[in-house]
A and B are shown apart, each in its own frame.
Chain A
Amino acid sequence: MQADKVETDWAALVLRVRDHQDKAAFAALFRHFAPRVKAFLMKSGADAGLAEECAQDVMATLWQKAHLFDPTRASVATWVFTIARNRRIDALRKARRPEPEDLPWGPEPEPDQAEVFEAQQETDKLGQALAQLPDKQRALIERAFYGDLSHSEIATETGLPLGTIKSRIRLALDRLRQQMS
């Protein structure tokens, strides 16, 4: 694993944007994520100009919606992915994608650091597992997320360790349901 991936606390940077409109924190996020979002959108079929434009939109949305980011539920990379995906659907497919009902579960003003770390770690571990898949299998997963496959072409078995993530979110949901009842 590359050292910078472990050491940069992206979630803390988003919280600085949220709490202090911190432009230096935003610049660090921008330098890391905007080029990845641009590449992601180009692989989804956007030309360089449109991808650059939309990558700026995605990063502006990150600033605007920083108050909605819950670092105990998802890593910053996952959150940025969902914003980029929605931007791609608007720009390229022009389809509607209704979202599930919101739940009253955060974000907390002071998120539990161990949980934040866990969510970030999960993305890193998934990234490693993805890199270790046979080329063909990895390419198929990547193409699915670039929006390049129809639902019937998607493999039912990813070969990725998704069980721990599912269990962690499931536990959080069970806790929430108990508080609600």
Chain B
Amino acid sequence: MTIRHHLSDQLLMAYAAGDLPEAFNLVTATHVSLCDECRARLAAFEAVGGAVLQEADSVEMSDASLAACLDRIEQMPQATHRAPMRRAGCFPAPLAGYIGGGPESVKWRNLGAGVKQAILRTGRDASARLLYIPAGQAVPDHGHRGLELTLVLQGAFRDDADRFGPGDIEIADEAVEHTPVAEAGPACICLAATDAPLRFNALIPRLAQPFLRI
């Protein structure tokens, strides 16, 4: 897998610092699972966290705290070696953990023209969904509201300017104006997340939502 489109420094630092909404955490962890370059960059940002902690002031702990901590350790159950999450098909482990399996386990909803989506359960400050786009179909609208991350897991999509294949991530904000289309070949499966406000909880009936949008 040759990845050409990576996470931004801003996203990697925010992920290292723990500043991202859950849906963006999921996309970031999924890309890093596929991309050694971003894994190494993430390690560097985590080292900044270490330096911040090391240089930080300290606030005295109470006198009994060490003894209390040792007591707590005595009472802790033996660390159980949890079986690590596994990759499932084209879904890296963090995503497979949300789905409970690979692409075959997704509960898709048809959006028309063979395009399908599944909304994942995440915190409300941003939303994540899986998209299934048959060859030649347009990738559902990027909304042009807020920040949208689109990570390709299978297949590819392209617009006039660029191509996004497996592992590539597109980072789009309000400024991006284009209509990417799934490439010929196997259907394109993407994980997309946006921090634009979710509209479908509003009082407007679902059917009145613009076609193909969350």
Contacts and interface: CB of A to CB of B under 8 A. Distances in A.
Contact of A64 (B16, B44, B73): B73
A85 B18 contact: yes
A160 B13 CA distance: 12
B135 to A, nearest CB: 29
A75 to B, nearest CB: 6
Contacts of B61: 34-35, 38, 52, 55
B36 to A, nearest CB: 4
Chief secondary structure at chain B's binding surface: helix
B48 A126 contact: yes
Given A95-B22, A144-B17, A152 B147 contact: yes
Interface residues of B, number: 67
B7 to A, nearest CB: 11
Interface in B51-75: 51-62, 65-66, 68-70, 72-73
Interface size class of chain A, counting residues whose CB lies under 8 Å from the partner chain? 35 or more
A56 B65 contact: yes
**Which of A79, A100, A162 neighbours the largest number of chain B CB atoms within 10 Å of its CB?**
A100
A177 B40 CA distance: 14
Nearest to A168: B40
Contact of A98 (B17, B60, B97): B97
Interface of B: 8-11, 13-14, 16-22, 24-26, 29-30, 32-33, 36-37, 39-62, 65-66, 68-70, 72-73, 76, 79, 84-85, 87, 92-94, 97-98, 122-123, 125, 147
7 contacts: A39-B59, A74-B47, A84-B53, A95-B125, A100-B30, A129-B51, A130-B51
